[in-house]
Amino acid sequence: MLKWLLLGALAALFYFWLKRPKIVSPPFRSQPRISEPLKIVPCAYCGVHLPAQDGLLHDARFYCCQAHANALDPAGWYGQANWRPSPNFDSRPDGMQPELVLLHHISLPPGQFGQNYISDFFQNKLDQAAHPYFAEIAEQKVSSHFLIDRNGLITQFVSAQKRAWHAGVSNFFGREQCNDFAIGVELEGDGETIFTDAQYVALAQLLKVLAGVYTNLRFAGHSDVAPARKTDPGIYFDWQRLQRENHLRPDQLPFGLAFRV
């Protein structure tokens, strides 16, 4: 009899153990419960659509292949540059293509490198309070197509097909208004410091792409076309190195190879 009572008690205990309140644990969340939708993006060069994960990402743009990432796109924007569009541009005269690469130097504040003030200046966003010199220039509406900083990073502000505002009053062998037919390339520099290897490497990379699109390019400094006003790119720009690294013919460098201001 006692044996049956014990068995009954054990069965009751087992029953209540099975029916005990369960502690609910939070659901296991290492995987998202709803899978992320596939992000489809256009190639910034050709427009073909592809999953973002398959694209080459540069400066928040996607490219379908390395060749398109390395090219000047049909709208005149260079895939390897960071794009910081400037409002300071207009159209080239009808049918006019770039024929001249005009080299400059710039530093902001003057003599200081490595900050974002040049981009801000070309985008009309310069903070006048940041430096006394900025109050003098903040209202100027200027731009260039490209800037190459001391580390060789290339920034583009204006499509190569459009007219950027970098040359001012200028004369190239009797042709005035060089902005009409020039591509402006600013090198971060101050006229008192040699340019860096990274800048020459980036310049050669950029010029190779431009020469592939615009086949009649010649090269000059801002001081060559505006000698009374300008001294850039200055005495430290190595024209011989430019010629050597870009395999330029003598007629493409009509002002010669000498260091000059």
Q: Kindly list the catalytic residues.
A: 186
Sign of CA dihedral 137, 139, 118, 106: negative
Q: Is 132 exposed, middle or buried (0-12, 13-18, 19+ CB in 10 A)?
A: exposed
* Residue number, 118 or 217, with CB nearest to Zn ion: 118
* H-state helical runs in 36-194: 66-69, 117-122, 132-137
* Residue number, 64 or 118, with CB nearest to Zn ion: 64
In angstroms, the CA 185 to CA 177 distance is: 16
68 binds Zn ion (CB under 5 A): yes
Q: In the complex, what is the shortest distance from the CB of residue 125 to Zn ion, in angstroms, rounded to a whole number?
A: 20
43 binds Zn ion (CB under 5 A): yes
* Residue number, 178 or 248, with CB nearest to Zn ion: 178
In angstroms, the CA 25 to CA 194 distance is: 66
Closest by Cα among 201, 209, 211, 221 to 248: 211
226 binds Zn ion (CB under 5 A): no
Choose, by CB under 5 A, the member of 143, 222, 237, 252 that binds Zn ion.
222
Half-sphere exposure of 87 (CA within 13 A, CB side): 7
Q: In the complex, what is the shortest distance from the CB of residue 32 to Zn ion, in angstroms, rounded to a whole number?
A: 30
Choose, by CB under 5 A, the member of 41, 45, 170, 209 that binds Zn ion.
45
What does the per-residue mask of binding to Zn ion show for 80-109, with x meaning CB under 5 A? Answer: ------------------------x-----
Stretch that binds Zn ion, among 54-62, 191-199, 206-214, 232-240 (CB under 5 A): 232-240
- Binding positions for Zn ion, 104-133, rule CB under 5 A: 104
What Å distances lie between residue 25 and 18, 22, 34, 166, CA to CA? Answer: 18, 9, 20, 66
Q: In the complex, what is the shortest distance from the CB of residue 26 to Zn ion, in angstroms, rounded to a whole number?
A: 45
Q: With CB under 5 A, what is the number of residues at the site for Zn ion? A: 8
Residues in CB range of 155: below 8 A, 6 or more apart: 81, 82, 83, 84, 119, 146, 147, 149
* Residue number, 92 or 222, with CB nearest to Zn ion: 222
* Residue number, 70 or 116, with CB nearest to Zn ion: 70
Choose, by CB under 5 A, the member of 41, 55, 61, 64 that binds Zn ion.
64
The 8-class DSSP code of residue 55 comes to S
145 binds Zn ion (CB under 5 A): no
Q: What are phi and psi of 247, to 5 degrees?
A: 50, 50
Residues that bind Zn ion (CB under 5 A): 43, 45-46, 64, 68, 104, 222, 232
